[in-house]
Chain A
Amino acid sequence: MNKLVKLLLLLCITAAITSGCAVNRATAHIDPATNLSALKTLHVRKFADDNANTETLIADRLRAQGVKVTADPQTPPAGVDGVVTYVEKWMWDITMYMLELTVVIRDPQSDFPLATGNSYHTSLTRKSPKEMVDEVIGNIYKEQNK
């Protein structure tokens, strides 16, 4: 009986550990008719459940890309070339970490997603919010150059 208890606990631990260690995804897609380099001004719309000031990280990363970015008000200023929305998902494993970040660059009039980037890293390969933003935005612009 003692062996059975040990075996079951071992299975529990193995399942719990392995379920959080191996999933990594980083993808980006751009609408074929979209030219990202033509989007000179973007507005980042704050996500309601932003836990890490991701809005500012995204805005800074886009500025490094040479884009003029506004970020503060919910309503974008008139005349922007695109609106950036994002969704972040957090998970707890000893400490909280950003599990997934999706960034979408949208047409300001129709809300149509012009470009999308997504990164998903589980606990053992977790990245800081800044690294997640770097990866997602970097992949979106890399996709344009393909």
Chain B
Amino acid sequence: MIRQNHICKHVAAPAAALALLLAGCASPANRQAMIPQVLGPLQTHPYSVRVQSSGGSDTGALDSSNISDADLKSAIEEAVVSNKVFKSVVQGKDGDYELSVRVTSLSKPIIGFSFTVDMEAAWSLLKVSDRSVVMRKSIKSSGTATAGDSLVGVTRLRLAVEASARDNISQGLQAVSALKL
């Protein structure tokens, strides 16, 4: 009986808690958390832009945190508006320029106390009227979350994914803003 109690208290219960914690709690990168705040003084282009994103993926219940295309698109659009990179953001097929952001890699650690996520995205800006390529740039970024940010591994990983996306959007918009259109 003492042995059973010992197994229950010291082995089975913590193992079950750990397994459940690791197995079923992944959540996607939060759109709001991917928006970089103030990017500093940026040049405003007096044109409208439409934003497209691809290469992201949804987060399954048993998966690790991913960035969905829709959330990445919204985060970029909000960052464009709040930092006044373009005069306006439009939807559909309108717009003077088309900004495409394609996630090409999102490298996530599997285990660790401090998680660093590396991201690469292909940023391209096309002039809609003649489909000419104005900018093509590979942007690499990284984000780190430590045990101080969250003790829960899946949350820590999500925070690192969001930080890498934030850094990527920040670098991308600075590059776009610096263009002479």
Contact = CB atoms under 8 A, between A and B. Distances in A.
Given A22-B60, A23-B63, A110 B138 contact: yes
Contacts, number: 93
Contacts of A96: none
Contacts of B4: 1-2, 5
A39 to B, nearest CB: 15
A15 B55 contact: no
A116 B124 contact: no
Contacts of A113: 102, 104, 120, 122, 138
Given A29-B54, A87-B107, A110-B136, A11 B16 contact: yes
A106 B102 CA distance: 13
B60 A16 contact: no
Given A31-B122, A113-B138, A12 B19 contact: yes
Contacts of A50: none
A134 B12 CA distance: 42
B20 A11 contact: yes
Contact of A27 (B19, B57, B63, B100): B57
Interface residues of A, number: 31
A33 to B, nearest CB: 5
B19 A112 contact: no
Contacts of B133: 33
B39 interface: no
Nearest to B66: A25
A54 interface: no
Contacts of B107: 87
Contact of A25 (B5, B20, B57, B138): B57
Interface of A: 1-2, 4-5, 8-9, 11-12, 15-16, 18-19, 21-23, 25, 27, 29, 31-33, 87, 102, 104, 106-107, 110-113, 116
27 contacts: A1-B1, A2-B4, A5-B4, A8-B13, A11-B19, A11-B20, A12-B16, A15-B16, A19-B23, A19-B24, A19-B62, A22-B60, A25-B57, A27-B55, A29-B102, A31-B122, A32-B126, A104-B105, A106-B138, A110-B136, A110-B137, A112-B124, A113-B104, A113-B120, A116-B55, A116-B104, A116-B122
The 4 A-B pairs of least Cβ separation, nearest first, read A19-B23, A15-B19, A15-B23, A8-B12
